[in-house]
Amino acid sequence: MASPHIAFLASPVPAAQEALGVLTGLHGQCPPYAADMIVALGGDGFMLQTLHETQGLGLPVYGMNRGTVGFLMNEYAEDGLAERLAAAEEAVINPLAMRAVDTTGKITHALAINEVSLLRAGPQAAKLRILIDGKERMSELVCDGALVATPAGSTAYNYSAHGPILPIGADVLALTAMSAFRPRRWRGALIPKSAVVRFEVLEADKRPVRADADSRPVPDVVSVEIRSEPSVRHRILFDPGHGLEERLIVEQFV
């Protein structure tokens, strides 16, 4: 079977660079703008980086795990790549759009495939006000932080914070608190995918808060709005029987 035009991208770790040399030797190398698809070699962090950096190309991305975490990746193998790519199943995910305002009034826009999180940046707990579609839902959440996660990101930071795992096709987002002090042990809520979530930071000077969109930080925020962005579509390829739906189910029984 003839290989498609593949752009191989690899993280800087030795295992990924070694795999890059082997696979480009077998299949050649194509620049992303002229490729049919992208093969990303690394871990989940590198997959997120690749999806962000190649977003405008609209190409499917097939990941092979050469890193530590590989929830978004397929198993690595040097043989049979063309056949695996031809048989791969595609999952389409929409990122979150973040609009963060800091204490100086600066506005930062960013996209997040996994989650947007707010984290306390000082010794005292954060105080957050939560509004959904402009309606106040919680006047004061005292916590170490809070996040909004997509279904694709629900097994990442959200799951570590005891948030729910969401089926990939679910039209909901997870709003999860981290170490909630008041209301005590409040774990969060499920909200419609179409909703706009707004966090307002109370006592921002005394209790500084940092916002993160897929680990891209914005310090000293006073408000953060988060919504799903349906106009952006990330295409991820998985081996048959090992797609995101199956992985999300498996994660709940381990």
Active site residues: 44
> Torsion over CA of 242, 244, 245 and 248, rounded to 10 degrees?
100
Number of H-type helices and E-type strands within the chain: 5, 17
For 111, list phi and psi in degrees, rounded to 5: -110, 145
Between the CA of residue 8 and those of 31, 35, 38, 205, what are the distances in Å? 8, 10, 6, 46
Please report where in the chains the tokens 């795999």 appear, as a residue. 19
Query: 112 and 147 in contact (C-beta within 8 Å)?
Result: no
